[in-house]
Amino acid sequence: MAEKMSYNLDQKPGESLEKYYHRLAKTADQRMVRLESYEHDKYFKPATQWAYSRAQHDLQRWTGQGPEAKKLRFNTAAPKDLEKLISKINDIKTFLASPTSTKKGITDVYKKRADTINKKYGTQFDWKSLAKFYDSGQADLWDSKFGSKTALYTIAEIQKMGDKKIKEIREAEEKDLRAETPTMAEQMVKKALKDNELNIEDLY
């Protein structure tokens, strides 16, 4: 079933507070089930982070269960206390209003992040390559070896080179990039291309 572009979070005319609660809760639970299924998609592995993670944290509080509790759901008996019922409704609305509660919202977040990073560092990520880069753990590896800013500037240089130039540098080893005074960018690129832990293919 396709996700709706938006969902009416307002209480409908004549809708009791309890019916309102169950309507929102049912929709929220359906979204959480979808987010759990997206974990198996290579571009959406962190789907159960962000909005989902917060919702589960809220549900742990409502159910009294600890962090070990998994796949909790909102659509259970409505709290009898009016203040608690309204509080739980607000938690559900927070989840439903979050962009990362839907696949489209997650995609939009990646697109905005890719656009921001590309403008700032000169990289050439599209949203899929950026998602793969972060979700594969490669981002953490690059950061640990270069620092986050230097890593992104180095990646930008590598992305501009193309496969042929990358192959030449790797094959030439010490003979390549032998300018009298190699720039810092050249040194970082060479270091990155020689590091077997860094998956250059994840950058495209």
pLDDT at residue 172 in the model: 63
Average pLDDT over residues 32-60: 93
Task: Kindly list the domain boundaries of the chain, sorted by start residue.
Answer: 17-101, 110-203
**For the whole model, what pTM was predicted?**
0.76
pLDDT at residue 2 in the model: 46
Q: Which residues of 110-127 are buried (b: 16+ CB within 10 A; e: fewer)?
A: bbeebeebbeebebbbeb
CB 194 within 8 A of CB 125: no
pLDDT at residue 183 in the model: 74
CB 32 within 8 A of CB 73: yes
pLDDT of 29 strictly over 70: yes
Average pLDDT over residues 110-122: 94
